[in-house]
Amino acid sequence: MTQRLALFTQALAVVVAAVAIAIAPGMIEIFTLMQITLFASMAVLSLSLAFIWGFGGILSFGQTAFFGLGGYAYAVAAINFQDSTQAIMLAVIVPALFSAILGYFAFYGRISDVYLGVITLTVTLILFNVINSTSGDEYRIGEAMLGGFNGIPAVPTFNMPFDPESPLSPEQSWWATAGTLLLVYLGLRALLASPFGRVIVAVRENEVRASLLGYDPRVVKLMTFILGGAIAGLAGALYVNWGAFVGPTIFSLSLSAEIIIWITVGGLGTLLGPIIGCILIEYIVAGIGSQQTLNSNLVLGSVLVFFVLLIPKGIVPTIRDIATGLLARIGRGHGDATPATMPQTAGVK
């Protein structure tokens, strides 16, 4: 009973979200729409780490490496092809290949979790420095000048698939970005509900046991890591489409740290939480940015400390616990003797 109710509620929530995405442009001003388009692209980035860290148990301190590679791959390809279709594909493929190489050495070389964090962090720094020093005419890929610390301005934005003559309006860009967020979320949920998704969680839970049952943890972690890299790259394309610009600060370590804060606040081990955490915090940061009295890093730090101390599980798991408790109490109140079991522990919200 409870399970079917939960499933129904969730399906309803997805429908509501889809409708909200569809009608949002008619309801809000263009400035706000642009802003939530940015938030939606960041939320895709948040999902990429939420997946590999929360479910794969792999903490990458350099998820912006894949985000930035996706952004640059998109910009360079969009300038060369003058069509965003192939550019978006490359924004997924390039970071996926890069994470495959990085992940292969990390997982097959049996590098410890801590070192993986250090390596991803270092790679992000290296990419930042490499791109930063590409000023000058000699640094070009086809038509695209990399531009060093100035970045690449006037990147062509999204157009209708295989139709460069029809660029997307801001409203259409919103639908593309928010629609991608919804699809990535649903895709990850479906994956985690599948047998392979269970294996991913099993490896996170106990790598030794998983291997003693015949699962190769290296393969499982590598697949997880590559998928995370691909999603981060896609987020990079969405981000560059939003601003029509990409610069080396896309590889910033402070953004890498921010993703970790989004997930901690929203709830590690969930998918919905990191989306909410990302949008909430980006909203606060944007609000602070528009006035001068408060330093945004100070506020971010305070929010993190507040959550770690008072709501360590994050928003979504805490609300879920409260709701489960209430449901159980209502159930008992009606003389329902069935014990309140969790719908599924490996389940995702």
Partner 1 sequence: MAELTPLLRTEHLTMRFGGVVANDDINFTLQEMELRCLIGPNGAGKSTFFKSLTGQQTPTSGTIAFRGLPITGRLPHEIARMGIGIKTQVPNVFNGLTVRENIWLSARRKTTSQSLSAAVRGVLDLIRLTPQADRTVATLSHGQRQWVEIGMVLAAEPHLILLDEPAAGMTDEETLLTADIIRDINLSRAIVVVEHDMAFIRLIAKTVTVFHQGRVLIEDTVDKVLADQRVRDVYLGKKVAA
What's the CA gap between 106 and 203, in Å, rounded? 16
User: Closer CB to partner 1, residue 167 or residue 347?
Assistant: 347
59, 94, 192, 199: which one contacts partner 1 (CB under 8 A)? 199
| x-or-dash string of contact with partner 1, 202-221, rule CB under 8 A | x--xx-xxxxxxxxxx----
CB of 327 to partner 1, least distance (A): 16
Count CA atoms within 13 Å of residue 274 on its CB side. 28
DSSP string spanning 28-49? Answer: S-HHHHHHHHHHHHHHHHHHHH
Q: Which residues pair with 144 in a beta bridge?
A: 141
Question: Min. distance of Cβ 312 from partner 1 in angstroms?
Answer: 16
Longest dimension (CA), the chain: 77
Residue type, 103: G
Residues 6+ apart with CB under 8 A from 284: 299, 303
Q: Is 310 in the site for partner 1 (CB under 8 A)?
A: no
Identity of the residue, 217 or 266, whose beta carbon is nearer to partner 1 in the bound complex: 217
Query: Interface with partner 1 includes 166 (CB under 8 A)?
Result: no
The tokens of 100 are what?
A: 């495959």
Report which of 68, 19, 29 is spatially closest to residue 229, judged by C-alpha positions.
68
Total residues binding partner 1 (CB under 8 A): 22
- Looking at 7, 105, 198, 306, which residue binds partner 1 (CB under 8 A)? 198
Q: Is 342 in the site for partner 1 (CB under 8 A)?
A: yes
- We find the least distance from the C-beta atom of residue 51 to partner 1, in angstroms, to be 16
CA distance linking residue 251 with residue 54, whole number of Å: 22
Nearer CB in complex with partner 1: 220/235: 220
Interface residue list for partner 1 (CB under 8 A): 195, 198-199, 201-202, 205-206, 208-217, 341-342, 344-346
